[in-house]
Amino acid sequence: MEYDKTKKNAYSAVQPTSTLTLGNYLGAIKNWLKMQDELNCYFAVANLHALTVKTEPSEFLKNQLSLYAEFLAAGLDPKKAVIYFQSEVPEHYLLQWILACGTYIGELSRMTQFKDKSAKAEENINLGLLAYPVLMAADILLFQAVYVPVGQDQKQHIELARDLAIRYNNRYGNVFTVPEPYINATSAKINSLQNPTAKMSKSDSDANATIGLTESRDSIIKKFKRAVTDSGNEIIASEDKPGITNLLKIYAEATGKSVAEAEREFAGKGYGEFKLAVGEAVADMLEPIKGEYNKLIADKAYLLETASNNAREASFAARFTINKLVKKLGLAAV
């Protein structure tokens, strides 16, 4: 990426726990595609964050490469943005420790995600799970990010990053940019096909609830045929029809039409015909991404080389922050 001093910086990352979903693509990645042309963007495969749960090494590496290939297949360009594996940039580790020394246990224990995950996995309440938001803050502050595209469930973590930036700036002078959550009002919020009042999540245990970015055409269409709908037979968007509303939003995103246009198109038609049309539209939209992904994932050497080159760019940018900080802290050498 050619760094442009006239542009602001942005940072975001995704854990390599499973394939990206249709919700990830429409709600986040499509927005990243616009951002990479307008901002200095750093996008990471957040493999360090993924270590809070037990992993099988060979499968873990496979998932990291797969996610990187999905990023590129979806249109992220390593010449326009810095796209890298988090673990290849050691400055992440260093800044996390420095920030951890200025973070209070009470701040971390109040985090909603820590409470939720602890309740679900009482046998694996590890330090990493508690300190997860500190690493996230380090990720963001390392690159002096102004904007951090996140969902509502991550806003609390961004608040901690802001608090830490202000705390360190007050103690040591101007060190960090205070980041802002970047929540694009035009980004599609795609919900589960089986529970249309909850967002589509790549961690959902119900395979029929999500659509994978590289899923087969047949599988995509079958899942939409099984999608939960609502009582009645009108195909309209309304609060009392969350299932149909979700499908209308998906159809609109896949075809470039408005929801109102979709409502008119399917006026008087049945749910079965509508769900089939949505499935086919999504399959058509994702087909080029799947084709590009298949080419990329077959070239492991290219993926590793590209990621390593981008990691060097990320590390070079991160050193500016680290060098400034260690002088402020009075560290002998880093």
3-class DSSP assignment, residue 233: coil
Pure H helices in 75-213: 91-100, 105-109, 112-120, 127-142, 155-172
pLDDT tens, residue by residue, 213-264: 999 999 999 999 999 999 888 999 999 999 999 999 999 999 999 999 999 9
pLDDT of residue 217: 96
| Domain residue ranges in the chain | 9-182+300-329, 207-294
CA 138, 140, 146, 151 torsion-angle sign: negative
CATH superfamily ID and name for 207-294: Tyrosyl-Transfer RNA Synthetase (1.10.240.10)
pLDDT of residue 333: 66
User: How far apart are the C-alpha atoms of 100 and 116, rounded to whole Å?
Assistant: 22
Q: What token pair was written down for 304? A: 């590793």
pLDDT of residue 326: 92
Q: What token pair was written down for 251? A: 């159809």
User: How far apart are the C-alpha atoms of 255 and 328, rounded to whole Å?
Assistant: 53
Q: How confident is the model at residue 151 (pLDDT cuts 50, 70, 90)?
A: low
Which residue pairs from 204-209 have beta carbons closer than 8 angstroms and sit at least 24 positions apart in sequence? none
Percent of the chain past pLDDT 70, that is, above it, reads 93
Determine the topology of domain 9-182+300-329 in CATH.
Answer: Rossmann fold (3.40.50)
pLDDT tens, residue by residue, 5-56: 899 999 999 999 888 999 999 989 999 999 999 999 999 999 999 998 888 9
Query: Among candidates 87, 24, 10, 14, which has minimal Cα distance to 45?
Result: 14
- Residue 334: pLDDT above 60? no
pLDDT of residue 125: 76
pLDDT tens, residue by residue, 75-119: 999 999 999 999 999 999 999 999 999 999 988 888 776 666 666
Catalytic residues: 117, 199, 202
Query: Among candidates 69, 85, 17, 29, which has minimal Cα distance to 290?
Result: 69
